[in-house]
């Protein structure tokens, strides 16, 4: 609220400065060339030229401040095998574009300042230069070719959902406004499914006549064994959703009427990820914010906020209805043994069916 | 001014009848067929829609800064959609949707391209009016009708369309999926269908006019870059808008007639729907086949306007005229084959993703050429810092900043993790939203004297520019970092993810900058209205510009030139051109308008 007031005050100040400048004008004799009084004169050119110079300096300060101040906004190191490659490409691209940004903005605003109009100054009639044009066509071509090639190789690798390395197959099932996860069981094959089979306890529409589906297990948490490739098969029951797992650099839309897929290998367990230096600091900072907020809430007679502990999450990232903003699920990455132990406690589909019959 | 209109025999004499017929109030101001009046109608309608669109963005930003907290503003403006002053999540999505729709189509397509194509094409090519004044009038009134329906949809009981401006089915197709997909969505589709008809009528008119009605001597290579931009924009519109029409039509059928173009295997509200065999991905392809060229439909006119203004105010020819034209053509061509970069993770074949990455990054090349050419045009100029010039320089700045992040988003690999985050929001607002708005403002400041015969107040213009420039970067630069944290767009509140708690301060900061920027626009609104009525009378050619529109004199007549249409003898960028003896071509004047014949001792150049 205080900042809002500050803005209003600044705006009012600006208005008053302008009004005062108008009053100052009234005292002067009318400009003989009154026709051109609303066209920029030398003073305007100079002031606005200087403004451009100040602006670019302020912009540089802002850019640097953002990169420094918002360091911990960047996602921590990826927790998936392909994520490291992703991060490298992102860093390289960011460095390239920031270099271009610094140079071009400098030239643009410096020229705006340096060549601001003065009476009697002559502009240079300079209409063409094939060599210059060639240079600045060629440089982007070369730089972009490099980025494109690297990007395409990574893309092909990431999108190649082959079965060679014995991946675990998990179905991610989306509906307004939650997620379910279907494990394919000991045969590592998902049973057929269609919304037309949805009935009673069979909430995911698993085909009750398909033997492959009998050992499938449905959960509302996503558990993954560390260092084993996983192929996710995405299915939606109603509208488009998007399964976004930012810490794994993974995202795929979930489309009703078709099955989409994404494959990655989680490489860091939840426990290890929580205890990284980055994450402990980030969580400490967040909890400090929450403590402050809780104090205010309690003072107002509300319920305070719970302290936060980091868990990997999956969220919906494609507008899907009024509760789109809270469609999330917890992801747990654990050791192979822990994972198997957990999976054994999950109810299989034939057990679900049997229960429903009783 | 020392410029003499070439006294050549008027071979357009048969057109003279145009301005003799009597005009009533209705034919002059309402159902006018004069392109200048239609342009002003487009501009004013567009600006009013802009006020609505920007107000909506403020409501959204206020919600994000203070999520789920009551506000008297919400209570006053949203009524039942803000029970107790707390914004309803459904209406947040409605604001997201209508803000996007209004800004993209109604402000930046119709308000920008509609205004300046209509205003400048006949004036700058030397024509008395558009090829068909009648169709032009129909085009505006269809636009008005679609605006009225879109605004009207805000008042239906279940709310306006809320599925995002991209209206992806099934969300937009099923009233069961969200309240906004009931009557609100129907009205959205009807409004857009009419809008497309309006846009096509306009575009066909622009193309025919540019091809057929150029004055004698106005070859294609002597066209001002504004006209090139409008011409190519119109062609992109003709190619791509019908595809959106098809998509809208099929969606209407899915919604109302039980077809299954985009729907399959859906279980919603406890029932299986009969739809079978359709694909939402098909809709995405159809939508983005327009949706991406649309970005350039918005941007190219702004770039054209900027080219003209930067050259005029630098008192220099635009650098690399032919390269600029080639870039416009290359951007136009590439823009129609890059739509898939919105769909890298839509479930389409990953191989297509590779192809679209390739074409998308190719489009960076002509864009880079344009940016470099603008910068070189400033070099060693004699820059006249009029408000229009400031906005043009601002456009180049935001075009670069926003364009560069496109290299991240256009790369299918990198897109995986920033797709649909605030990084995207920051990117496209800078590169097409802010840039195109700067183009619109630049155009208004530059051609206001021609439109209304009055000058706008330059000091108010300066305040407007600097507040907007500071505010726009203040809003959208930090927003990239919020996106890098993985914060999804279109979230009503982020409080359900404690991981995002440390972004809250930055989100508030962005909101303050947004309010600051919006306050800056009030200076423009005031200046615009005040200057129409009380502005100082404009000189005939206030910016000492070369193009033909400044030769008409100050009488606004239907037919543009009271006498003969001037003929053209040179390209429009002979600024500061020198003779062999190192003097300006016309002594004491650093510009040579297009209708001035080649002078003695002047070297003819083929640009």
pLDDT at A10 over 80: no
Model pLDDT for residues B539-575, shown as the tens digit of each residue: 989 999 999 999 998 777 888 898 899 999 999 999 9
Compare CB distances from A86 to B169, B413, B469 and report the shortest one's residue: B413
pLDDT band for position A200 (cuts 50, 70, 90): confident
For residue A242, the model assigns a pLDDT of 96
Q: Say whether A126 and B376 touch across the interface (CB within 8 A).
A: yes
3-state secondary structure (DSSP) of residue B18: helix
3-state secondary structure (DSSP) of residue B315: coil
Per-residue pLDDT averaged across A316-328, rounded?
95
Model pLDDT for residues B65-81, shown as the tens digit of each residue: 999 889 999 999 998 89
Question: What whole-number distance in Å separates Cα of residue A220 and Cα of residue A132?
Answer: 60
Question: What whole-number distance in Å separates Cα of residue B313 and Cα of residue B325?
Answer: 20
SS (H, E, C) A74-92: CCCCCCECCHHHHHHHHHH
Number of neighbouring beta carbons within 10 Å of residue B301 = 29
Name the least confident of A25-29, A92-96, A292-296, B293-297.
Answer: A25-29
List the Cα angle B454/B213/B136 in 5-degree steps: 65
For residue B21, the model assigns a pLDDT of 60
3-state secondary structure (DSSP) of residue B363: coil
Distance from CA of A244 to the nearest CA of B (A): 8
Q: Is A16 touching B (CB cutoff 8 A)? A: no
Question: What whole-number distance in Å separates Cα of residue B184 and Cα of residue A137?
Answer: 47
For residue B14, the model assigns a pLDDT of 45
Number of neighbouring beta carbons within 10 Å of residue A187 = 14
Q: Say whether A317 and B379 touch across the interface (CB within 8 A).
A: no
For residue B588, the model assigns a pLDDT of 85
Q: Is A40 touching B (CB cutoff 8 A)? A: yes
Q: Which of B273, B383, B605 to mutate to test the interface with A (most CBs of A within 10 A)?
A: B383
For residue B514, the model assigns a pLDDT of 97
Per-residue pLDDT averaged across B274-280, rounded?
94
Q: Is A290 touching B (CB cutoff 8 A)? A: yes
Q: Say whether A132 and B264 touch across the interface (CB within 8 A).
A: no
- With contact defined as beta carbons under 8 Å apart, do B431 and B397 qualify? no
Per-residue tokens: B31 = 């159902």
- With contact defined as beta carbons under 8 Å apart, do A205 and A195 qualify? yes
Compare CB distances from A140 to B314, B368, B411 and report the shortest one's residue: B368
Per-residue pLDDT averaged across B306-317, rounded?
96
pLDDT band for position B4 (cuts 50, 70, 90): very low
- Residue in chain B lying closest to A99 (CA): B404
Per-residue tokens: B581 = 């003896």
Q: Is A41 touching B (CB cutoff 8 A)? A: no
Positive or negative torsion for Cα A134, A137, A140, A143:
negative
For residue A84, the model assigns a pLDDT of 93
Per-residue tokens: A225 = 């064994």
Compare CB distances from B384 to A45, A70, A293 and report the shortest one's residue: A45
- A contact residues 219-278, partner B, Cβ 8 Å cutoff: 234, 237-240, 242, 244, 246, 249-253, 255-258, 260
Q: What is the mean pLDDT of chain A?
A: 90
List the Cα angle B345/A241/B505 in 5-degree steps: 90
Per-residue pLDDT averaged across A252-281, rounded?
95
Q: Is A11 touching B (CB cutoff 8 A)? A: yes
Question: What whole-number distance in Å separates Cα of residue A283 and Cα of residue A305?
Answer: 14
For residue B10, the model assigns a pLDDT of 42
Q: Say whether A308 and B469 touch across the interface (CB within 8 A).
A: no
For residue B18, the model assigns a pLDDT of 47
pLDDT band for position B8 (cuts 50, 70, 90): very low
Give me the helix-helix angle, A42-69 and A83-114, nearest 10°: 160
Per-residue pLDDT averaged across B241-259, rounded?
95
Strand order in the sheet with A250-254: A222-225, A328-334, A312-316, A241-245, A250-254
Per-residue tokens: B209 = 């006019």
- With contact defined as beta carbons under 8 Å apart, do B147 and B45 qualify? yes
- With contact defined as beta carbons under 8 Å apart, do B172 and A328 qualify? no
Rg (CA), chain B: 25
Question: What whole-number distance in Å separates Cα of residue B123 and Cα of residue B137?
Answer: 17
Rg (CA), chain A: 30
For residue B158, the model assigns a pLDDT of 92
Query: Minimal CA–CA distance to A43: which of A27, A21, A26, A23?
Result: A21
pLDDT at A15 over 80: no
Cα dist from B599 to B3, B6, B29, B318, B577, whole Å: 12, 12, 42, 21, 12
Per-residue tokens: B294 = 């649309």
pLDDT at A123 over 50: yes
- Residue in chain B lying closest to A50 (CA): B385
Most distant CA pair in chain A, distance:
100
Question: What percentage of chain A carries pLDDT values higher than 70?
Answer: 91
- Residue in chain A lying closest to B90 (CA): A322
CB proximity list for B255: less than 8 A, separation 6 or greater: B173, B174, B185, B186, B189
pLDDT band for position B606 (cuts 50, 70, 90): low
pLDDT at A88 over 90: yes
One-character DSSP codes across B394-432:
HHHHHHHHHHHHHHHHTSHHHHHHHTTBHHHHHHHIIII
pLDDT at A6 over 80: no
pLDDT at A1 over 90: no
- With contact defined as beta carbons under 8 Å apart, do A172 and A222 qualify? yes
Domains of chain B from N-terminus onward: 13-264+272-551 (1.20.210.10)
Model pLDDT for residues B571-590, shown as the tens digit of each residue: 999 999 988 888 898 888 89
Q: Say whether A242 and B345 touch across the interface (CB within 8 A).
A: yes
Q: Say whether A34 and B397 touch across the interface (CB within 8 A).
A: no
Per-residue tokens: B159 = 């709310």
- B contact residues 476-505, partner A, Cβ 8 Å cutoff: 477-478, 480-482, 484-486, 488, 490-494, 496-499, 501-504
Question: What percentage of chain A carries pLDDT values higher than 90?
Answer: 78
- Residue in chain B lying closest to A177 (CA): B177
Question: What whole-number distance in Å separates Cα of residue B90 and Cα of residue B74?
Answer: 14
As a CATH number, domain A168-272+308-357 is 2.60.40.420
Q: Is B379 touching A (CB cutoff 8 A)? A: yes
Beta bridge partners of A175: A178
Question: What whole-number distance in Å separates Cα of residue B94 and Cα of residue B90?
Answer: 6
pLDDT at A5 over 70: no
3-state secondary structure (DSSP) of residue B109: helix
Model pLDDT for residues B133-177, shown as the tens digit of each residue: 999 999 999 999 999 999 999 999 999 999 999 999 999 999 999
Q: Say whether A126 and B317 touch across the interface (CB within 8 A).
A: yes
More confident position, B607 or B259: B259
Question: What whole-number distance in Å separates Cα of residue B112 and Cα of residue B517?
Answer: 20
CB proximity list for A344: less than 8 A, separation 6 or greater: none
Range list of H helices, B485-567: 504-534
CB proximity list for B119: less than 8 A, separation 6 or greater: B35, B36, B39, B40, B447, B450, B451
Query: Minimal CA–CA distance to B339: which of B327, B352, B349, B350?
Result: B352
The b/e string for A285-317 (b: 16+ C-beta within 10 A; e otherwise) is: ebbebbeeebeeeeeeeeeebeebebebbbbbb
Q: Say whether B488 and A315 touch across the interface (CB within 8 A).
A: yes
Q: Say whether A35 and B264 touch across the interface (CB within 8 A).
A: no
Measured in degrees and rounded to the nearest 5, phi and psi for residue B216 equal -60, 130
């Amino acid at each position: 609220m205080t900042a809002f007031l500050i803005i209003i005050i600044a705006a009012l100040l600006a208005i008053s400065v302008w009004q005062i400048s108008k009053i100052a004008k009234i005292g002067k004799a009318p400009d003989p060339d009154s026709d051109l009084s609303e066209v920029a004169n030398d003073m305007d050119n100079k002031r606005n030229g200087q403004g451009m110079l100040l602006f670019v300096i302020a912009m540089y300060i802002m850019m640097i401040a953002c990169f420094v101040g918002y360091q911990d906004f960047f996602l921590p190191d990826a927790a998936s095998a392909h994520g490291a490659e992703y991060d490298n490409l992102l860093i390289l691209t960011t460095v390239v574009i920031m270099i271009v940004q610094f140079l071009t903005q400098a030239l643009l605003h410096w020229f705006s300042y340096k060549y601001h109009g003065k009476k009697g100054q002559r502009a240079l009639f300079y209409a063409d230069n094939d060599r210059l044009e060639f240079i600045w066509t060629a440089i982007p071509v070369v730089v972009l070719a490099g980025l494109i090639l690297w990007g395409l190789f990574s893309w092909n690798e990431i999108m190649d959902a082959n079965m060679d390395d014995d991946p675990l197959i998990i179905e991610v099932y989306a509906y307004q406004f939650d997620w379910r996860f279907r494990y394919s069981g000991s045969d590592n094959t998902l049973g057929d499914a269609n919304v037309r089979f949805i009935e009673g306890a069979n909430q995911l529409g698993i085909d009750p006549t398909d033997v492959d589906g009998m050992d499938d297990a449905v959960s509302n948490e996503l558990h993954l064994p560390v260092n084993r490739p996983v192929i996710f098969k995405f299915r939606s029951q109603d509208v488009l959703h998007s399964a976004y797992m930012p810490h794994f650099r993974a995202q795929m839309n979930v489309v009703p009427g078709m099955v989409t897929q994404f494959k990655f290998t989680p490489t860091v367990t939840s426990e290890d990820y929580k205890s990284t230096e980055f994450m402990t600091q980030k969580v400490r900072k967040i909890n400090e914010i929450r403590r402050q907020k809780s104090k205010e809430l309690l003072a107002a007679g509300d319920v305070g906020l719970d302290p936060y502990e980091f868990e990997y999450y999956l969220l919906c990232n494609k507008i899907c209805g009024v509760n789109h903003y809270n469609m999330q699920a917890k992801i747990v990455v654990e050791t192979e043994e822990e994972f198997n132990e957990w999976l054994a406690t999950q109810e299989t589909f034939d057990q679900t069916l049997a229960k429903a019959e009783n | 001014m020392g410029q003499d209109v070439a006294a050549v025999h008027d071979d357009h004499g048969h057109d003279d009848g145009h301005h003799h017929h009597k005009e009533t109030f209705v034919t002059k101001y309402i159902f006018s067929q004069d392109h200048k009046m239609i342009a002003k109608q487009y501009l004013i309608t567009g600006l009013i829609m802009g006020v609505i669109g920007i107000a909506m963005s403020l409501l959204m930003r206020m919600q994000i800064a203070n999520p789920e907290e009551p506000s008297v503003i919400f209570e006053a403006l949203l009524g039942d959609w803000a029970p107790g002053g707390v914004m309803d999540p459904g209406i947040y999505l409605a604001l997201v949707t209508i803000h996007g729709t209004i800004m993209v189509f109604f402000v930046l397509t119709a308000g920008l391209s509609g205004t300046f194509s209509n205003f400048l094409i006949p004036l700058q090519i030397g024509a008395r009016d558009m090829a068909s004044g009648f169709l032009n009038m129909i085009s505006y009134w269809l636009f008005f009708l679609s605006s009225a329906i879109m605004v009207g949809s805000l008042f239906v009981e279940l709310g306006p369309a809320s599925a995002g401006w991209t209206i992806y089915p099934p969300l937009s197709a099923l009233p069961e999926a969200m309240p906004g997909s009931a009557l609100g969505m129907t009205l959205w589709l009807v409004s857009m269908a009419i809008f497309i008809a309006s846009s096509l009528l306009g575009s066909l008119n622009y193309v025919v006019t540019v091809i057929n009605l150029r004055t004698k001597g106005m070859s294609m290579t002597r066209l001002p870059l504004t006209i090139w931009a409008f011409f190519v924009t119109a062609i992109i519109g003709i190619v791509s808008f019908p595809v959106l029409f098809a998509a809208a039509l099929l969606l209407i059928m899915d919604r109302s007639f039980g077809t299954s173009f985009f729907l399959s295997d859906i279980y919603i509200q406890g029932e299986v729907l009969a739809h079978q065999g359709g694909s939402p991905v098909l809709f995405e392809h159809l939508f983005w086949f327009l949706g991406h060229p649309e970005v350039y439909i918005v941007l190219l006119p702004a770039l054209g306007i900027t080219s003209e203004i930067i050259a005029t105010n630098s008192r220099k020819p635009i650098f690399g005229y032919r390269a600029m034209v080639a870039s416009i053509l290359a951007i136009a061509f590439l823009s129609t084959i890059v739509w898939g970069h919105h769909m890298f993770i839509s479930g389409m074949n990953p191989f297509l993703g590779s192809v679209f990455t390739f074409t998308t990054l190719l489009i960076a090349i002509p864009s880079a050429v344009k940016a470099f050419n603008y910068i070189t045009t400033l070099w060693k100029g004699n820059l006249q810092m009029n408000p229009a010039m400031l906005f043009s320089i601002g456009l180049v700045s935001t075009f670069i900043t926003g364009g560069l992040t496109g290299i991240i988003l256009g790369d299918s690999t990198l897109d995986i993790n920033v797709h649909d985050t605030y990084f995207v929001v920051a990117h496209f607002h800078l590169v097409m939203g802010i840039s195109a708005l700067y183009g619109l403002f630049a155009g208004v400041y530059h051609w206001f004297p021609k439109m209304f015969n009055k000058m706008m107040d330059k000091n108010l213009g300066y305040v407007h520019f600097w507040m907007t420039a500071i505010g726009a970067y203040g809003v959208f630069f930090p927003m990239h970092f919020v996106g890098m944290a993985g914060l999804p767009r279109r979230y009503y509140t982020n409080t359900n993810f404690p991981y995002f708690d440390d972004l809250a301060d930055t989100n508030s900061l962005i909101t303050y900058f947004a309010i600051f920027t919006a306050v800056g626009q009030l200076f423009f609104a005031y200046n615009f209205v005040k200057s129409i009525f009380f502005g100082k009378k404009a000189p005939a050619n206030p910016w000492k510009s070369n193009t033909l529109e400044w030769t008409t004199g100050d009488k606004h007549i239907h037919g543009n030139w009271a006498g003969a249409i001037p003929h053209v003898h040179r390209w429009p960028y002979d600024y500061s051109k020198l003779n062999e003896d190192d003097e300006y071509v016309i002594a004491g004047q650093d510009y040579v308008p297009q209708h001035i014949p080649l002078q003695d001792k002047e070297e003819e150049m083929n640009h």
